[in-house]
Structure 1
């Protein structure tokens, strides 16, 4: 379901009825006539829908984390808030930028519409910006031939799909002043070549058994999940176009399974 479109439709319908009643219908009613339900209910809901629509479209939007691709930064079941104006003000539904603000920076956690199916929202970490060359070989990341600092941070385990424990290693990665943790399983290949899709500008990338290297075209971004060996990301389905960007994730506001995560800033 395209929730922003549904919300816009409700806003138009309730707002239209409110305006029709304000301009015409209320003048035709006698003082002892009660508003019919089809006017009373839309008028009551219109202000609420208007506030929700404006908040969600231009300020913040809530999301729920459905998968483990961003572990350990984000856990399955985290409810997060996304800043909708950090990367510019966009028209609702059309997602057309009308006011420029900031551009996504390396190391930031970004929500965007999945390039292969824009009705689905994805969340990943920005690794490369337009013009960068991203290389990932033998579990080490380089940007424009400069290795990204990676420091061991201990072992890590988590439950996958509620069935089995996954044992892996945690590392601290530093990029453009942003420090965050990633998971790397040394026993897994750097990339599953059979899972790489045919995506726009795929000719900008080279793949082999030891990893890949991609030159990011203008107007696009390269993303990876923090759970490097458990994420479907730009390695497999390609670049994120600028017009697919939704916003910057900044806060965990709820998790039913772990209340201690409430209020955690997303780094």
Structure 2
């Protein structure tokens, strides 16, 4: 029984270093697995998923630290760059950094121009001195990517253009033999990964709305220029007394535009439909019971009511009761105007905190508000 021959010094590996780089560029860790370094590839893949999960949790979760999440982008980027270099290194032992550099690399390896086309469609063709095709793909790719910022329906087209550019340049590059199976796998990974990443700016607003506080109506809870995350109102959302909600200003917003992200205000829910509310003796009374609000910094200096909150409406007040234009001025808030409940101050760093409902045991889970 013959032993498997070992590679001699200077003998080339049967794996392609730049195919490994392409795979790791599309799916971190995949290049290492292609090279046979399965354990290292899994560690790199899991580390990427862990970093991304921690970043998302830090930024969007009520208890997460936004600044810490943003700073974690640096080690994530470093890990991604190491992942590219390491995949090349694992396929070609003894490689130097100069050999890896796309600025100095000279090779007939068809996977190298594919890597350039992953960076920008057309770069690989320009490397092969196919100026017309390279310029066309570059212009079309950048133009469609720009237009997709305004029309999410174009997102699939941008990923397809990237994949087409990679496929065309692989076919155009000189090669002794083609690896069409690996190309198909790579193009599928490019499409899926790029579509997932490019969809983030359009998917996030479906789950969270970013707002800026410009007034003092919610002091001391919310300060001027606080940036808050708001969970858009789901169909089954039932406001609770103590919730901080964002809504379209009923004084400025016609009923047909209720709930849109214009003319927004932020206040606290004080009374629900069917409850009898009054303001007297410096505090709010609900059904003749005083409402305990430890977050207020001073007694209320006006009187209002009593009145019963009609069905489909809310009674809302600013925490800075004596300097807030709210339900005691313009009346009950129609619930269709509610955008959602604010659950976190995410910026500035020293103000990051969950916006907990004081009446509940746990914290409640680009527009300007008044």
Please report the TM-score for the alignment, with normalisation by the length of structure 2. 0.42
**Structure 2: unaligned runs, 5 residues or longer:** 1-131, 149-154, 156-196, 254-261, 357-370
1:260 pairs, out of 329, 345, 350, with 350
1:130–1:221 CA contact under 8 A, matched in 2: yes
**Structure 1: unaligned runs, 5 residues or longer:** 1-29, 89-99, 150-172, 174-179, 191-209
Alpha-carbon distance, 1:105 to partner: 0.5
Alignment of 1:106-255 (within 5 A): 106-118=241-253, 119-149=262-292, 173=293, 180-185=294-299, 189-190=301-302, 210-255=303-348
Report 1 or 2 for greater relative contact order, CA contacts < 8 Å, sequence distance ≥ 6: 1
Alpha-carbon distance, 1:43 to partner: 3.3
Alpha-carbon distance, 1:101 to partner: 2.2
> Quick check: which one's strand share is greater?
1
| Cα distance in 2 for residues equivalent to 1:79 and 1:226 | 17
2:228–2:345 CA contact under 8 A, matched in 1: yes
Aligned length: 170
Alpha-carbon distance, 1:44 to partner: 4.8
1:113–1:244 CA contact under 8 A, matched in 2: yes
Superposed CA offset, 1:72-105 (max 9, x none)? 1111111111111xx31xxxxxxxxxxx222111
Secondary structure in structure 1 of the residue aligned to 2:202: helix
| Cα distance in 2 for residues equivalent to 1:45 and 1:51 | 16
Alpha-carbon distance, 1:40 to partner: 3.8
Alpha-carbon distance, 1:236 to partner: 0.4
Please report the TM-score for the alignment, with normalisation by the length of structure 1. 0.58
In terms of Rg, which structure is larger? Answer: 2
1:183–1:228 CA contact under 8 A, matched in 2: no
